[in-house]
Structure 1
Amino acid sequence: MLRRVEMLLVQLAILSVLGLGLLITATVLLRILVNGSVPDAIVLVRELMVAAIVLPMAATTANRAHIVVEVFSNRLPERGRDALVIFGSVFGLLALAPLIWAGWRETTGALASGAYFFGDLTLPKWPGRAIFLLGVSICWLRLALMVAGDLRALRRGQPLAPTGYGEVR
């Protein structure tokens, strides 16, 4: 179930990137051709960038596709590398927790106050805040499941799965 949600979030991120491209292209063309622009283009770009960056984080985490520096860790025995992977995942859980809390506060605050961006379209602030909260929360959940699975594998003396989906190397 979580994997399906992650793939949906990746597809929404892809749509966000496509939307960014179309919006920026339209803004440039309008500026060149009629000396105009798309209303609130800067706000729309900022909100679409949040979606494009945050929504695929859980799938990236599940595929263990984050950027890593392996200069020293490759010289460790396999169990040492696995322990470092688990340490990094636990550190990620701790790092994402304040972001979830702040995202919750921002989302509920924007919903309660009816906050909006000043501009031609008076766009509400809550959708971007909710997208951030959703993306970071799903990533935290995936990371927590990976830590649990990795700890089980480490206790059994098995290698860690190459992805967070539970396959074994």
Structure 2
Amino acid sequence: MNTFLKFQKKLELWLMYLGGALLIVLMIVISMESILRKFVNFSIPGIFEIAGQLMVGVTLLGISLVQADKEHISVDIFNDRLPKIVIKITDILIYLLGIGLTSIFAYQGFWKFIESFQTGETAMGLISIPFWPGRLIVFLAMTVLCLRFLMDLIILIFDKSKNIETESSN
């Protein structure tokens, strides 16, 4: 399991780097659009479609790494007052919900990617921008996030260092 966790962490890191690279590309494209429009009165064809596709990668590719590092927003004011067993049960339910939702998103993302790729679905505009890259990113990001939730659940349940001591010690 340690080998899989190391591989998954490395994959999440690379996806985060890819998301960061897409953010840089997005900033360059938007900046070029602004400069060209202001000084040359020229607009890049398909800029909104391109930016939309890039935003999918920027927003989703790093989400699994954020979960791995437990950096998502949480309300600790309530958790601090609950018994450890209640926190553990709540975390298990949250991970199960996360697995359920992300597996649905991954499944739908996969079939939408296949459909979009096979039909050659494109955005309507001056130039044809295919939708399939964004749909592929949704599938990949949600699959990796689903696996992260699964690993977190397994670790929470079976890791001896995370086992709850008797509540009488609180």
- Which bin holds the TM-score, normalised by the shorter protein? 0.7 to 0.9
5 Å-filtered alignment, 1:7-156, equals: 7-153=13-159
TM superposition shift of 1:154: 6.8
TM superposition shift of 1:155: 9.6
The unaligned stretches of length 5 or more in structure 2 are 1-6, 166-170
Identity percentage over the alignment?
A: 23
TM superposition shift of 1:15: 0.7
State the SS of the aligned residue for 2:122: coil
RMSD: 1.8
State the SS of the aligned residue for 2:43: coil
TM superposition shift of 1:54: 0.7
Letter of the 1:36 partner, please give it. F
Distance 1:6 1:157 in 2: 27
User: Would the aligned equivalents of 2:84 and 2:164 in 1 still touch at CA under 8 Å?
Assistant: no
State the SS of the aligned residue for 2:72: coil
Query: Could you state the TM-score of these two structures normalised by the residue count of structure 2?
Result: 0.86
User: Would the aligned equivalents of 1:79 and 1:154 in 2 still touch at CA under 8 Å?
Assistant: no
Letter of the 1:147 partner, please give it. L
| Count of aligned pairs between the two proteins | 159
- Higher share in helix: 2
Matched, 1:3 2:5: no
The unaligned stretches of length 5 or more in structure 1 are 160-169
Query: Could you state the TM-score of these two structures normalised by the residue count of structure 1?
Result: 0.87
State the SS of the aligned residue for 1:72: helix
